[in-house]
Amino acid sequence: MPEFDTSHVKNIVLLGHAGSGKTTLAECMLFEAGLINRRGSIAERNTTGDYHELEQERGNSIFSKLLHTKWRGYKINIIDTPGYDDFAGEVISALKVADTGVMLLNAVMGVEVGTDIIWDYTEKFKTPMIFAVNKLDDDNADFDKTVREAKAHFGNKVVVVQYPHQVGSGFHEVIDVLRMTLYKFKDNGGKPEKMDIPADEKEKADLLHKELIEAIASNDETLMEKYFDKGELDEDEMKMGLKHAMINHDLFPLFCLSAERNMGSGRLMGFIDNVCPSANEMPPQKTRKGEALNCDANGPACIFIYKTISEPHVGELSFFKVYSGTVKSGMELENETTGVTEKLSQLFLVEGNKRTAINELVAGDIGATLKLKNTHVNNTLHVKGKNYDLPSIEFPPPNMTVAIESLKKGEEEKLSQALHQLREEDPTLLIEVSPELKQTLIHCQGDMHLAVAKWKIEHQHKLEVKFVKPRIAYRETIRKVADASYRHKKQSGGAGQFGEVFMRIEPWYEGMSEPTDLNVRGRDVHDLDWGGKLVFYNCIVGGAIDARFLPSILKGVMEKMQNGPLTGSYARDIRVCVYDGKMHPVDSNDISFKIAGLQAFRQAFQQADPQILEPIFQLEVLCPDDLTGAVMGDLQSRRAIVEGIDSEGHFQKVIAKVPLAEMEGYSSSLRSITQGRAKFKMKFNGYEAVPFELQRKLIDDYSKTSKEEYV
């Protein structure tokens, strides 16, 4: 029998901007429950959560960590998450499997940009939320300001359950308006003494108590009637009302903490046990087909893989949540995505970097297993005979791209394997081998994300690599009509080569009229893999060129479009009309007309007012109002066009279009000019013409490195 049934398992995720105290709070929870006998600290690099040497080196969380604690008959699974947006994938995957979020607010800084971004994810999942104002022992703490900002950002659904009797270095008393009790802590924290609320605080406490009751009653008709009848709700009724309101995402209770001094974590855990929902109290999960999957330990077994990590000398450790049934070690489950049957040879409870083998896990619980051969993040495994397929985690698109190269020749295959392993562990890290740019690209969330990838490659895979600036995927096109001809003639003994082609090229656009001065005999429209079109016309009359050679001419044109005349970039949106030529009864062949077509196209292209196009991205930067000017100034230095500024809560959102070529180093630049108080996202918008001077430079640079074509 499992130690805890489904209703006694609570899954929480600790959220918040970097530096808000999530890892320290997790340490308090483990200490208060007696799972550890000494609280570690970030400064001493010995916390249970931040065990990875890279985290200890940097002093902040990088990966999400699964921990658990036992508290008054309940098991609380705790997922500690990083606070930097570079590691948003770790937050999103944790939110997928958590049933309650605990959002930490720094009482000194108030609501920060990272908090707002994380909040958007919680809104998407409709995760029941608790706010916890931390660092109330700091001399610069401002509880009232933090609460005002929380209400401004997240609405009046934020309801105060606790407030500090005093803040700053003298913080040691918290007034709880749910229980109408004052908790007094010793200097070293721990279990508080329960006391009556002082007379000078009674009026304020009564007012907040009434506000809490009214907020709870307004979301439940039955409780509203009781409140009208009695003028009060008892504690159990308030807890019941809070639970339902949290499940419906209607109320967000707010608590007080000093995680550093271990004040308030026990009361928070008690609230999690008594009020926060278990997985079976949340709405049933829906499969991709829309079927409800009830969280029932007696149902058919079904698990979802939300995270994988690779452990040296052990292999891949897969983290999962049991959405239905009871899974046992040795059980075989079918992977809905791959159809492969996987054996759960071992099951583990996880405590940071420690694993404890267990025999079974019930619906609603979270655990890990080793060595699933063909199972990855976002896969659903279930008993045979079922076709459960739970919706995938949607990870954010990348914000930054670099090219990676091995410093040692012959290690390309090892690097490829290392990058594959990184991608398995981190779905927000995208790997692309670009035939266009002839580079291996890493698409990531930002500088810190990239630094972690480099550390893993060098320390775990023992490879020496360097990051270089990725080439820009320019496009080439033309702006006017041009005619050209080319005769290819080659005689070197035996069969010769001969082909002559006359062609016209012109800019193509949707809806353009047919040629009026040429006799159109055929028309082919080619949607190019790299965007845009090539429209190819056969306008040959009188059999000047046999129809069987036209595909070869087209092949030559297409080959040159794949290696444009100006910079070697792809060409697009061109109409080609082949209207005359000559052939030889013996020496004409496919290769002759391919070369003639390629060279005629190249000559015509150079005469058709050629234009280089560059990729333009839509950029959104979220920053505090006082930093808007600095952000805009930096963007203007990058040839950006600022399209507008919108307000988003207490922050400003700068919207701009910016050339990709100017975005190198933007992540670190933005962090520097805003002291880490701004975030950005970008997505491809389209192609636009480069300025004349830049076009000339690009052409000159290419001419110095490109090789002449000899035919």
Across 98-108, average pLDDT: 97
Average pLDDT of the chain is 93
Rounded distance between C-alpha atoms, residue 194 and residue 568, angstroms: 76
Rounded distance between C-alpha atoms, residue 87 and residue 404, angstroms: 20
- Look at residue 51 and tell me whether its pLDDT is greater than 90: no
Among the listed residues 31, 35, 86, 93, the one whose alpha carbon sits nearest the alpha carbon of residue 61: 86
pLDDT on residue 399: 86
Question: pLDDT grade, residue 604 (50/70/90)?
Answer: very high
pLDDT on residue 708: 47
| Secondary-structure class of domain 298-382 per CATH | mainly beta
- DSSP string for residues in 422-481: HHHH-TT-EEEEETTTTEEEEEESSHHHHHHHHHHHHHTS---EEEEPPPP--EEEESS-
- DSSP string for residues in 102-134: EEEEETTTBS-HHHHHHHHHHHHHT--EEEEEE
pTM: 0.86
Name the fold adopted by 476-608: Ribosomal Protein S5; domain 2 (3.30.230)
Q: 292: helix, coil or strand?
A: strand
pLDDT on residue 486: 97
Q: What percent of the chain is predicted at pLDDT more than 70?
A: 98
pLDDT on residue 112: 87
Across 644-663, average pLDDT: 91
pLDDT on residue 393: 96
- Look at residue 709 and tell me whether its pLDDT is greater than 50: no
614-694 maps to CATH 3.40.50.1220: no
**Sign of the C-alpha dihedral, residues 653, 654, 658, 660?**
negative
* Residue 641 tokens, joined: 């066009």
Predicted confidence (pLDDT) per residue in 76-89, tens digit: 999 999 998 899 99
pLDDT on residue 42: 83
- Look at residue 711 and tell me whether its pLDDT is greater than 70: no
Beta bridge partners of 308: 318
Picking from 41-50, 66-75, 210-219, 246-255, which range would have the lowest pLDDT averaged per residue?
A: 41-50
Rounded distance between C-alpha atoms, residue 247 and residue 282, angstroms: 7
- Look at residue 710 and tell me whether its pLDDT is greater than 60: no
Exposure b/e, 289-309, CB count within 10 A at least 16 = b: eeeebebbbebebbbbbbbbb
Distance of CA 235 to the CA centre of its chain: 41
Rounded distance between C-alpha atoms, residue 47 and residue 39, angstroms: 7
User: 8-204+251-281 and 614-694: same fold?
Assistant: no
From residue 669, give the alpha-carbon distance in Å to each of 445, 596, 631.
14, 50, 10
pLDDT on residue 204: 96
pLDDT on residue 313: 67
| Secondary-structure class of domain 400-468 per CATH | alpha beta
Predicted confidence (pLDDT) per residue in 174-187, tens digit: 999 999 999 999 98
Predicted confidence (pLDDT) per residue in 419-444, tens digit: 999 999 999 999 999 999 999 999 99
- Look at residue 1 and tell me whether its pLDDT is greater than 70: no
Q: Which helix (H) or strand (E) holds 77?
A: strand 74-80
pLDDT on residue 315: 76
Rounded distance between C-alpha atoms, residue 89 and residue 397, angstroms: 10
Rounded distance between C-alpha atoms, residue 480 and residue 628, angstroms: 42
pLDDT on residue 395: 94
Question: pLDDT grade, residue 143 (50/70/90)?
Answer: very high
Domain ranges of the chain: 8-204+251-281, 298-382, 400-468, 476-608, 614-694
- Look at residue 402 and tell me whether its pLDDT is greater than 50: yes
Across 357-381, average pLDDT: 94
User: What HEC string does 656-669 produce?
Assistant: EEEEHHHCCCHHHH
Picking from 254-268, 343-357, 668-682, which range would have the lowest pLDDT averaged per residue?
A: 668-682
pLDDT on residue 289: 93
Q: 379: helix, coil or strand?
A: coil
- Look at residue 222 and tell me whether its pLDDT is greater than 90: no
Among the listed residues 197, 191, 237, the one whose alpha carbon sits nearest the alpha carbon of residue 213: 237
From residue 257, give the alpha-carbon distance in Å to each of 164, 173, 269.
9, 10, 12
Backbone angles phi, psi at 694, to 5 degrees: -70, -40
Across 501-512, average pLDDT: 96
Residues 619 and 682: beta-carbon distance below 8 Å? yes
Question: Homologous superfamily of 8-204+251-281 in CATH?
Answer: P-loop containing nucleotide triphosphate hydrolases (3.40.50.300)
Residues 551 and 465: beta-carbon distance below 8 Å? no
Rounded distance between C-alpha atoms, residue 2 and residue 297, angstroms: 10
Predicted confidence (pLDDT) per residue in 554-603, tens digit: 999 999 999 999 999 999 999 999 999 999 988 899 999 999 999 999 99
Picking from 96-105, 577-586, 701-710, which range would have the lowest pLDDT averaged per residue?
A: 701-710
Among the listed residues 412, 415, 519, 429, the one whose alpha carbon sits nearest the alpha carbon of residue 458: 415
pLDDT on residue 26: 94
